[in-house]
Amino acid sequence: MTCQNCVRHVREVLQAVPGVRRVEVDLSTGETTVNRSMESNGHTTQDLIDAVAAAGFTARAVSAGVEASTASRRPANWDQPLILGVVVTLFLAAGEWIFGWHGMAWFAWTGFVLGSLVQFHTGREFYVGAWNQLKRRRSSMDTLVALGSTAAYLLSVAMLFRGGEGHLHFLDAATIVTVIRLGHWIEARVSRRSEDALRSLMALAPETALRQEKDGSEKRVPVSALGLNDAVVLRPGDAIPTDGTVIEGESAVDEAMLTGESMPVDKRLHDRLYAGTHNLNARIVMLVTGIGEQTALARIIEAVYRAQTSRANIQRLADRISSIFVPLVIVVALLTAAAWMFAPETMLGAHAALAGVLWQPRLPEATWVTALMHLAAVLIVACPCAMGLATPAAIMVSANTAARRGILVRDGVALEKAGYIDTVVFDKTGTLTVGEPRLMRFVTYLGDDARPALDEMRVAVSLARMSSHPVCKAVAGYGCEPYAIRDCREIRGRGMEALLELDAFQTEPYVLRLGSLKWLGGLGTDFSRAVPFINEWAAKGGTLLGIAVNQHLMGVIAVRDGLKPGAAEVIDQLRRRGCLVCMITGDHPASARAIAREVGIDEANVFAEAGPDAKPELVANLQSSGRRVAFVGDGINDAPALERSDLGIAVQRASDISRNASDLVLLRSDIGVIPEALGLARVTLRKIRQNLFWAFFYNVAAIPLAALGFLSPMLCAVLMGFSDLVVLGNALTLNWWRPQLGAPVKVNNAESQDP
């Protein structure tokens, strides 16, 4: 491998092997680490080697010990062939440009010997890469470098053995090989910075843990030796080795590296702990509940890696062009040589016409020398790597930046889609609100002779305790004894229903219901007596639940969920960015409007009493009007809308990642990162476009200039390496991106309106 494009190809072919979970390729050492699942479907290490060979590269399996010894033999910063190339190139340059030795016979033969060493030792990787690709009827950047440097080298050899007349170009050949290899050395080290976030995540979990034995003693063991239900002692300052729950003690835990939360989180008995976080100020004991790939940290690492190595749609055009680029450049180079050889007057005329506008370089005197030098220049200056790296480099850095801010990006396509969003739809509960409702008040309705002789709150608690919905949890916490109900079922987006038989003499079981007023009203329950209570709490933004037995109204409960801190600021930021903001909820319309007023959402964009099917329908209606819609939900009942939207954003805790199918996952409940995520995506798209523009502009401009004699092969080598670094450097600026929340962003069709 000679460049990051080679790294990308190797990674892609290995990922295509069934059972491969993760591939890490290090260009600087030439080492590849493959992480495979337990179910590899019979595929062996030889299958991995064959996959690499089919892509035009060679590979061999090494053990951990061999790998370590191989790495230890490498110089800390430079490899030996590159050092040789730099020393020889500097010597030849000094001899020609400073000491004036270029006309001396001894210097010509010294240049031949030293140039040959550089050509075939420093440049060996280019020849090997070109030959491996040629055997599979392919071509790559190695092909261009090998052909271009060989043309300059053989030209000089031919001139030397014909008597040494004219200017020899051993310096050009050595410079081509050395500068391009130096550029790839720099590229390898620059590109490693784009993977910093992933390496930081992988380094979070400690290698050992303090296990508490059954007799109460403590033993330091490798983390790999821990099993489920083991007890682990955590002292102040310890990194938490696995996922678990607190079974003894209380402490504060720093979860910043995992979730982006800056403040420590207090942990008490039965609270969840996550691998990679840090215990801060007290001794606690945890029970191991997740190890290895079952931990939240492992799933986060997997998500970040998947995003880094994925492709965006915008990359397909660059890939198609890159696939035919090298053969096309070879054809252009041959045509250039033929034109300078057989039609020199025409080429000199074109050269002279542009020289007055550009600059006047010195051309070789001999026609055949001019033809070969310009052929070499065209081959060297062309750079398919810049086109290949334009998109993946930006996506990798952007995924890392997002991960550091507590945002997991599913893949490059999700990041690309996020950059075009102009409408954001919020599900109210758990996104705009805290997601921990409290029972505020309830009212009982008597006076109906046919009213069943049941306690309305026992009915409510009996049903609520069977659901995991946050509103039901608030009701279930009311202190009363539940009834022994049967055949309980949850009707998604509406409420709970069950049967109750108090004794054997009851002719028919009672039908108990707890749920939305709209649902119960549709089943025949009369809420006319509850209108004052409903209006009062709806105006306060409360969620109203009706309690009914058969069709009889037993009572109404008011539950209220507090707004998340900063929710209004988030809505304001999105609107100033040009986004239409909507809210959808199953609440009473008055309650929904009250919440909308608090956060600053226009009442025309509030959709209340929405059943489970209404959310994806709303998304579809907005999309049909030409909008690109992001849906923000808590991942409980929002799966259809998250799937239907252009961009699904799930507000979840780290423990829920495995159940998530959204495009973006927020590892903390703070929705303030949503404007940041959309802003980062837009900046990433801008970087991708800038990289693609540079890659195309560079090649479109540089190849004609080289063909017409304005760029020497040495200068072409410098420019080719520089073009790669421009793309990588531009992508790396995303590491220092900061949201500019005060500046409005213009988005097409983003005026606030009633859809």
pLDDT given at position 125: 84
- Can you tell me whether residue 84 is helix, strand or coil? helix
pLDDT given at position 41: 59
Helix, strand, coil percentages for the chain (3-state, nearest 5): 50, 15, 35
Question: Does 338 score more than 90 pLDDT?
Answer: yes
Tell me which DSSP letter residue 440 carries. Answer: E
- Can you tell me whether residue 467 is helix, strand or coil? coil
Containing H/E element for 385?
helix 384-404
- Would you say 609 and 588 are in contact if contact means Cβ atoms under 8 Å apart? yes
Q: Which of 659, 543, 670, 652 is nearest to 595 (CA)?
A: 543
Q: What percent of the chain has pLDDT over 70?
A: 84
- Would you say 252 and 267 are in contact if contact means Cβ atoms under 8 Å apart? yes
Tell me which DSSP letter residue 464 carries. Answer: H
pLDDT given at position 296: 72
Q: Give the mean model confidence (pLDDT) for residues 396-412.
A: 81
pLDDT given at position 72: 38
Calculate the alpha carbon distances from 97 to 89, 149, 154, 521, 605 in Å. Answer: 12, 21, 22, 94, 73
- Spatial distance between the Cα atoms of 475 and 547, rounded to a whole number of angstroms: 11
The residue range of the domain holding 34 is: 4-74
Q: Give the mean model confidence (pLDDT) for residues 592-599.
A: 89
- Can you tell me whether residue 434 is helix, strand or coil? coil
Tens-digit pLDDT profile for residues 675-718: 988 888 889 889 988 988 888 888 888 899 999 989 888 888 78
Tokens at 690, concatenated: 């800038």
Q: Is residue 613 part of a domain?
A: no
- Spatial distance between the Cα atoms of 501 and 505, rounded to a whole number of angstroms: 9
- Spatial distance between the Cα atoms of 721 and 178, rounded to a whole number of angstroms: 11
Q: Give the mean model confidence (pLDDT) for residues 541-566.
A: 90
Angle (nearest 5°) at CA 623 between 617 and 625: 110
Domain count, the chain: 3
Question: Does 191 score more than 90 pLDDT?
Answer: no
CB atoms within 10 A of CB 656: 17
Highest mean pLDDT among 139-148, 278-287, 357-366: 278-287
Q: Which has the minimum average pLDDT: 68-72, 83-87, 374-378?
A: 68-72
Tokens at 671, concatenated: 């929705």
pLDDT given at position 73: 40
Tell me which DSSP letter residue 262 carries. Answer: -
- Would you say 197 and 403 are in contact if contact means Cβ atoms under 8 Å apart? yes
Relative orientation angle of helices 589-599 and 531-539, to the nearest 10 degrees = 10
Q: Is residue 538 part of a domain?
A: yes
Q: Which has the minimum average pLDDT: 10-14, 190-194, 680-684, 696-700?
A: 190-194
Tell me which DSSP letter residue 429 carries. Answer: I
Conformation bin of residue 616: beta by default, left when phi > 0, alpha when psi is -120 to 50: alpha
Band of pLDDT at residue 288, cut at 50, 70 and 90: very high
Q: Both ends of the chain: CA-CA distance in Å?
A: 53
Of 498, 525, 560, the residue that ends a domain is 560
Q: Is residue 691 part of a domain?
A: no
Tell me which DSSP letter residue 577 carries. Answer: T
Which amino acid belongs to residue 240? I
- Spatial distance between the Cα atoms of 305 and 20, rounded to a whole number of angstroms: 13
Q: Is residue 317 part of a domain?
A: no
Q: Is residue 456 part of a domain?
A: yes
- Spatial distance between the Cα atoms of 229 and 245, rounded to a whole number of angstroms: 10
Burial 288-321 (b: 16+ CB within 10 A, else e): bbbbeeebbbbbbbbbbbbbbbbbbebbeebeeb
Tokens at 667, concatenated: 């590892």
Q: Is residue 462 part of a domain?
A: yes
- Spatial distance between the Cα atoms of 166 and 364, rounded to a whole number of angstroms: 9
pLDDT given at position 740: 67
Tens-digit pLDDT profile for residues 453-494: 899 999 999 999 998 787 888 899 888 899 999 999 988 778
CA within 13 Å, CB half, 245: 8
Calculate the alpha carbon distances from 681 to 268, 413, 414, 420, 701 in Å. Answer: 38, 11, 9, 8, 30
Question: Does 365 score more than 70 pLDDT?
Answer: no
Question: Does 12 score more than 60 pLDDT?
Answer: yes
pLDDT given at position 135: 81
Relative orientation angle of helices 367-381 and 713-732, to the nearest 10 degrees = 10
Containing H/E element for 350?
helix 344-355
- Spatial distance between the Cα atoms of 53 and 132, rounded to a whole number of angstroms: 8
- Spatial distance between the Cα atoms of 587 and 101, rounded to a whole number of angstroms: 88
Q: Which has the minimum average pLDDT: 56-60, 76-80, 255-259, 699-703?
A: 76-80
- Spatial distance between the Cα atoms of 650 and 640, rounded to a whole number of angstroms: 12
Relative orientation angle of helices 384-404 and 673-707, to the nearest 10 degrees = 170
Angle (nearest 5°) at CA 14 between 11 and 20: 115
Q: Is residue 140 part of a domain?
A: no
CB atoms within 10 A of CB 692: 21
Q: Which of 146, 96, 92 is nearest to 115 (CA)?
A: 92
User: How does DSSP assign 99-154, residue by residue?
Assistant: S--TT-HHHHHHHHHHHHHIIIIITHHHHHHHHHHHHTT---HHHHHHHHHHHHHH
* 35: CATH: 3.30.70.100
pLDDT given at position 539: 86
* 224: CATH: 2.70.150.10
Which residue would you say has higher pLDDT here, 392 or 618? 618
Conformation bin of residue 196: beta by default, left when phi > 0, alpha when psi is -120 to 50: alpha
For residue 12, the Cα-to-chain-centroid distance in whole angstroms is 16
Of 510, 528, 560, the residue that ends a domain is 560
Q: Which of 58, 198, 32 is nearest to 129 (CA)?
A: 58
Highest mean pLDDT among 300-304, 363-367, 554-558, 607-611: 554-558
Highest mean pLDDT among 29-38, 329-338, 690-699: 329-338
- Can you tell me whether residue 3 is helix, strand or coil? coil
Q: What does pLDDT average to over the chain? A: 81
Tokens at 64, concatenated: 């951990």
pLDDT given at position 232: 95
pLDDT given at position 511: 94
- Can you tell me whether residue 491 is helix, strand or coil? strand
CB atoms within 10 A of CB 405: 19
Q: Which has the minimum average pLDDT: 18-32, 42-56, 284-298, 440-454?
A: 18-32
pLDDT given at position 250: 92
Q: In the beta sheet, which residues pair with residue 284?
A: 234
pLDDT given at position 749: 37
pLDDT given at position 222: 92
State the Rg of the chain over Cα.
34
pLDDT given at position 247: 94
CB atoms within 10 A of CB 495: 26
Tell me which DSSP letter residue 408 carries. Answer: E
Greatest alpha-carbon pair distance for the chain in Å reads 122
Of 277, 292, 307, the residue that ends a domain is 292
pLDDT given at position 197: 55
Active site residues: 427
Q: Report the predicted TM-score, pTM, of the whole model to 2 decimal places.
A: 0.66
Q: Give the mean model confidence (pLDDT) for residues 730-752.
A: 61
Highest mean pLDDT among 90-99, 386-395, 586-595: 90-99
* 526: CATH: 3.40.1110.10
- Spatial distance between the Cα atoms of 677 and 408, rounded to a whole number of angstroms: 10
- Would you say 121 and 81 are in contact if contact means Cβ atoms under 8 Å apart? yes
Q: Give the mean model confidence (pLDDT) for residues 351-365.
A: 81
- Spatial distance between the Cα atoms of 218 and 348, rounded to a whole number of angstroms: 84
- Would you say 564 and 413 are in contact if contact means Cβ atoms under 8 Å apart? no
pLDDT given at position 752: 33
**Phi and psi at residue 187, in whole multiples of 5°?**
-60, -40
User: How does DSSP assign 670-687, residue by residue?
Assistant: -TTHHHHHHHHHHHHHHH
Highest mean pLDDT among 186-195, 429-438, 508-517: 508-517
Question: Does 175 score more than 60 pLDDT?
Answer: yes
